[in-house]
Amino acid sequence: MTPFYRRGHPLPVLLLMLLALRPVSASAAETDSLYHDAARFIHAWNHMLTDIMVDEIRTPCNISRVYAYANIAAYEAASPGFPKCRSLAGQLNGLTSVPRPDPTQTYDWRVAAVTAYRVIGDQLLFKSYRADSLYDANIVEFKAAGVPADVLDRSRTYGEKVARRVIEWVGTDNYSKITAATRYVIPKGRGLWEPTPPDFVDPVDPFWNTIRPFTMTRPDQFRPEPPYKFSTDKHSAFYKDAIEVYQVGKKLNDSLKVIPKFWDCNPIHSHHFGHLNFYTRQISPSGHWIAITAIATKKKDLGMMESLETYTLVSSALADAFISCWTEKYRDNVIRPVTYIKRYIDSTWEPYIQTPPFPEYTSGHSTISAAAATVLTRMVGEMPFQDDTEVYLGTPIRSYHNFMEAAQEAAYSRMLGGIHYRHSNEQGTKNGVEIGEHVVSAIHTRA
């Protein structure tokens, strides 16, 4: 077969390449073996983003932003080489244009994609140097595979040009104003959130509602039902939600404890032993669903562009779901179970997992998991899978019949862990499904 980076494909080869770019739901693999095999570069770069951000100790919202911009840049850099793929310019808020390649020249779209990842990483990550070896190894492999020097250089230049345009777009999303914002003043009042043990730190990302969404028209476009009215009356909905968390936590057995541990995904976990205090790092909620995206696309045997499409839509949904959820959190400022239960039910009670430092309603895990699961279901269909994302933490592999089952367990895990009320999980899940459906209807990757 004629190498994919050469011009003048024979008509049968061109037809095969066009057929390879059918909808993601198709069961057959892409026909062109080189493009098909190139999916591994996309998986490797998303894995690298995860590793770096675990090391950097970023907040969950911030992490989702990086995944989205990185995958969008790589998608834009590679999509001109695939006739059926559309640019996202004009579809994502604020992205009005993206540089186009010279139609008279030849490009290697693998090179363009990995270069876009590299350039975006240099801009958005503190420890981007950790990806240097991956990029260098990619270039060495492309050279060894016989990619002509002029094609390699031209493709790198184009990938960088696209990434620079995306970086200009990044600069208008209001993040710089958030980092320069004055300290958040925590609202005071009965039933409102307050810093939680063990560290009692300030709330995380209180101004995230001012970040520009990727597909939503405004941060509160999708609003859940209002939280239950705060009450200590034993007949009230709020008290019943709290006492359920308390009772579930008291009855946790070993088989149930696995679930909240598996879905903990707290990027920063503090440990206290007497006067000893230290922190450990682990994968974020977004990182967990990016890993599930890798599991799904590999199992589906998708090629480079189909994988890029999937990562791009999933990461965009994750980012918008965080914006939506954080808008709700700081609008309502609902008290966490650990505070309520210790104050009004049992002062000795402790949640099984550590309560993260931000308001309770709605559940972030529930929202973003449902959004990602909805997008994955639309992109690759319902499929059973084994989630080995947390094996490196000593957590066993868990099996699911489909993505929504995993998302529902993620939501349930927050009540098992003692950090969310049932109503928060249910409304977060409902909100996440709405956001996921919106993302797949708002982003059109195919002509």
Structure token pair of residue 59: 């907040």
pLDDT tens over the chain, length 447 residues = 223 222 223 333 333 333 333 333 322 333 366 778 999 999 999 999 999 999 998 999 999 999 999 999 999 999 999 989 999 999 999 999 999 999 999 999 999 999 999 999 999 999 999 999 999 999 999 999 999 999 999 999 999 999 999 999 999 999 999 988 878 999 999 999 999 998 899 999 999 999 999 999 999 999 999 999 999 999 999 999 999 999 999 999 999 999 999 999 775 555 455 555 544 556 899 999 999 999 999 999 999 999 999 999 999 999 999 999 999 999 999 999 999 999 999 999 999 999 999 999 999 999 999 999 999 999 999 999 999 997 877 778 999 999 999 999 999 999 999 999 999 999 999 999 999 999 999 999 998
User: By the 8 A CB rule, do 403 and 296 touch?
Assistant: yes
Helices H, strands E: what count in the chain? 16, 4
Q: Which amino acid is at 260?
A: P
pLDDT given for residue 441 in this prediction: 97
**CA–CA separation, 160 and 119 (whole Å):** 6
Which residues have a Cβ under 8 Å from the Cβ of 375 and sit 6 or more positions away?
310, 313, 314, 317, 436, 439, 440
Parallel, antiparallel or unpaired: strands 398-400 and 385-387: antiparallel
In angstroms, how far is CA 83 from the centroid of its own chain? 28
Helix (H/G/I), strand (E/B), else coil: 36? helix
φ and ψ at residue 235, rounded to 5 degrees: -95, 0
pLDDT for residue 182: 79
Direct distance between the N- and C-terminal alpha carbons of the chain, in angstroms, rounded to an integer: 26
Q: What's the confidence (pLDDT) of residue 25?
A: 30
Angle in degrees, CA 250, 432, 385, rounded to 5: 75
Q: Are 404 and 289 within 8 A, CB to CB?
A: no
**DSSP state string for 157-176:** HHHHHHHHHHHHHHTTSSHH
Domains of the chain: 25-175 (1.10.606.20), 187-442 (1.10.606.20)
Are 143 and 152 contacting, i.e. CB atoms less than 8 angstroms apart? yes
Q: Which residue has the tokens 């604020």?
A: 94
Could you give the residue ranges of the DSSP H alpha helices within 300-353? Answer: 304-332, 337-344
Q: Which pTM does this prediction carry?
A: 0.91
Give the closest residue to 364 by CA, choosing from 310, 413, 293. Answer: 413
Show contacts of 187-191: CB within 8 Å, 24+ apart: 187/333, 190/230, 191/230, 191/334, 191/335
Considering only CA atoms, which of 234, 301, 342 is closest in space to residue 27?
A: 301
Residue 322 contacts residue 89 (beta carbons within 8 Å):
no
Give phi and psi for 192, each to the nearest 5: -95, 155
The DSSP-derived string for 70-84 is HHHHHHHHHGGGSTT
Residue with tokens 């080189």: 34
